[in-house]
Amino acid sequence: IIIHLRSNTINHSVTLNSVYILIISGSCSKFLINITQFPSRFKFLKSDRIEGKQKMEHEFCPQENIINVQVTNADDCLVKVDEGKYGCIHYKRRCKIRAPCCDEVFDCRHCHNEAKNSIDVDPIHRHDVPRHEVKKVVICSLCDTEQDVQQNCISCGVCMGNYFCQKCKFFDDDVSKNQYHCDQCGICRTGGEDNFFHCDRCGCCYSKSIKDTHVCVERAMHHDCPICFEFLFDTLKDLTILQCGHTMHLDCLREMQQHHRYSCPVCSKSICDLSDVWEKLDHEVEVTPMPQTYQNKMVWILCNDCENISRVQFHIVGHKCEKCKSYNTRQIRGQHSSSSSYTSSVSSEEVVH
């Protein structure tokens, strides 16, 4: 609601003949809203700065029509402009950034990276924005003032984002993500600082629930997803950590399972406990006799799960590791060198967590 003060009948520490933007709940039709406490950091807006925006002006009216509103928390009066209609598909915010690399204006660094790394751009000129080098933000939803990176506009006082990180030059209005800055990662993370820990060897933040159980892989998150090849360290998509310690997008993992692929695309280890599957394959081997020619044929296999090498009888269904009883093996000596198709006859529902 935009209120234009035009009377000297109210005794408050505000400037008359100025326009103020307030966030209040309830109806105020035909009544004056009397603010009894006003945050000192609130910036005044002139009417020419809100030209073209929908506004509602209330003239001061007789004293009997005044509605008193007690503001107990100064944050309740933070400016909110065009709520739900600002920002981009990545973040809700009231500012844009000027990329230091190409001096162009974008809604956020992801918008820049998508535009500058598209197939229409010459590969020589493709690049990502160095987020920590951003010095200017183009602001604002009300006044379009360009200024140094800060949370509130120096011209109109609008809050550019309820969450603000000076180190990352990052703004976001959706604080339900529980953002926090990790000094070791050097970037902002989501999920709440109390719920995550930073693994120095893996080089990223993991859930505390796997602090003592996860397998450390050097800089596990500092590479591309093995399925879609998107860089994982600062991706916006959900990630998963496999039993082997390698990482990938959760959606990519689910797509693998839909295609009956249950081994890590990096190291070929099983992505989950497949004990039930091995039992089913034991039964399938028993009921599938081999032709006389192959009954005494022996081959050497390497187990992808325990890395044990063993000599076993050749079978068309699969080769079982003598040490860990896994069928996730590959033939390393013999006429045919191949990996066991240990999931070909198993549905995805049987192995999904």
| Structural domain ending residue among the three candidates 132, 162, 177 | 177
Q: How would you write the chain as a 3-class SS string?
A: CEEECCCCCCCCCCCCCCEEECCCCCCCCCCEEEECCCCCCCCCECHHHHCCCCCCCCCCCCHHHEEEECCCCHHHHCCCCCCCCCCCCCCCCCCEEECCCCCCEECCHHHHHHHHCCCCCCHHHCCCCCHHHCCEEEEECCCEEEEECCCECCCCCCECCCEEECCCCEEECCHHHCCEEECCCCEEECCCHHHEEEECCCCEEEEHHHCCCCCCCCCCCCCECCCCCCECCCCCCCEEECCCCCEEEHHHHHHHHHCCCCECCCCCCECCCCHHHHHHHHHHHHCCCCCHHHCCCEEEEEECCCCCEEEEECCCCCCCCCCCCCCCEEEEECCCCCECCCCCCCCHHHCCC
Do 169 and 210 share a structural domain? no
Do 303 and 247 share a structural domain? no
The confidence score (pLDDT) of residue 141 equals 64
The confidence score (pLDDT) of residue 176 equals 93
The confidence score (pLDDT) of residue 295 equals 86
Q: Which residues of the chain carry a pLDDT beneath 70?
A: 1-85, 139, 141-142, 334-353
In a domain, 222, yes or no: yes
Domain that holds residue 7: 1-78
Domain count, the chain: 4
| Structural domain ending residue among the three candidates 147, 177, 207 | 177
Do 27 and 59 share a structural domain? yes
| Structural domain ending residue among the three candidates 258, 275, 300 | 258
Do 147 and 127 share a structural domain? yes
In a domain, 265, yes or no: no
In a domain, 28, yes or no: yes
The confidence score (pLDDT) of residue 335 equals 52
The confidence score (pLDDT) of residue 215 equals 93
The confidence score (pLDDT) of residue 304 equals 95
In a domain, 210, yes or no: yes
What does pTM read for this prediction? 0.65
The confidence score (pLDDT) of residue 181 equals 96
In a domain, 339, yes or no: yes
CATH of the domain at 325: 2.20.28.10
In a domain, 279, yes or no: no
Q: List pLDDT tens digits, range 28-87.
A: 433 334 333 344 444 444 334 434 333 333 333 344 433 344 444 444 444 444 454 578
